Amino acid sequence: MGGGSWGTAFARLLAGLDHDVTLASRDPEQVRAINETGRNPRYLTQARLAGVVASTIDDAPIAAADLAVVAVPSSAFGAVVAALPGDCPVLSLTKGLDPATGARLSTLVRDRPVAVLSGPNMAEEVLGGLPGAAVVASADATLALELQEAINSSVFRVYVNDDVTGVELCAAAKNVIALSAGGVDGLGLGDNAKAALVTRGLAEMARLGEACGASSDTFSGLAGMGDLIVTCWHPSGRNRRAGELIARGATADEAIAQIGQVVEGLTTAPVLRELSRRLGIELPITEGVCSVLGGLPLTALLEGLMGRRPTAE
């Protein structure tokens, strides 16, 4: 469910492993075009979707499915999983938190097994068959192993993890750090500054995870450092690109319009800020991103971050 870039790429990945795949979208015109042309008319438009059948969400055979893969924006995730018929497990590909409550998205899945998949997985590279890796996390060890077996291949290596909290927090927080990394690119501050920011961003992510009971190892793994690196450096990374555009004078709305897709970091930043305040921990980069979105000039944020009292690493 979800006909965006990642949903499209993952549907093609599963079809290439001989699974029967229906790509469900809310847009009937998108569904029609995929079935008639074998291509998604809006995202990854050059990719051939061999073996993928498209359907509207209302008509998709979800009740008879072995697995429901959810790749919708975080703002829609809760409503989508609440309306699922049947009782098949859910695999979440969405990287964010629930905007309304700040809850991890897997906690919105009721009365059925749930797993999350995350890692350094740029959609166009996965679709192109370039090698990569991901982690599947679930409190249900049997489900995690079944998904590993179903998805793992010679070009897409899958690891398992039982730290669902850590994997989901990594997936959400790395998008906010990527916004700030894009700001560094937009201001032309260089790779020294960007590497320092990303490193301190990883420390910020780990601090959040520790406060929420996550494993520290998760933040040095694929869902943490791996996904953070690719999100902060890949030219087509939506969050990095949005930060770059905002640094060059665009508003958040103008950046979203130019990118043409959901930028999860813009939704997640204020949610993470509120979570950190409730937990009583410092997330200075996240606070800074929120301040910039509220109108603070990036140069003032830079001065504030660089002027913080020196401390031990």
Catalytic residue set: 174
Separation of alpha carbons 167 and 170, rounded Å: 5
Among all chains, which residue has been given the structure tokens 């929420």? 212
Q: How far is CA 154 from CA 8, 13, 18, 39, in A?
A: 20, 12, 14, 25
d(CA 213, CA 211) in angstroms, rounded, equals 6
CB-based contacts of 281: which residues, under 8 Å, 6+ apart? 207, 208, 211
Strand order in the sheet with 156-161: 68-70, 90-92, 114-118, 132-137, 156-161
Residue 255 backbone phi and psi in degrees, to 5: -65, -45
The angle at the Cα of 238, spanning 38 to 227, to the nearest 5 degrees, equals: 95
Q: Are 117 and 146 in contact (CB under 8 A)?
A: no
User: Do the bridges between strand 114-118 and strand 132-137 make them parallel or antiparallel, or are there none, so unpaired?
Assistant: antiparallel
Contact 197, 229 (CB under 8 A): no
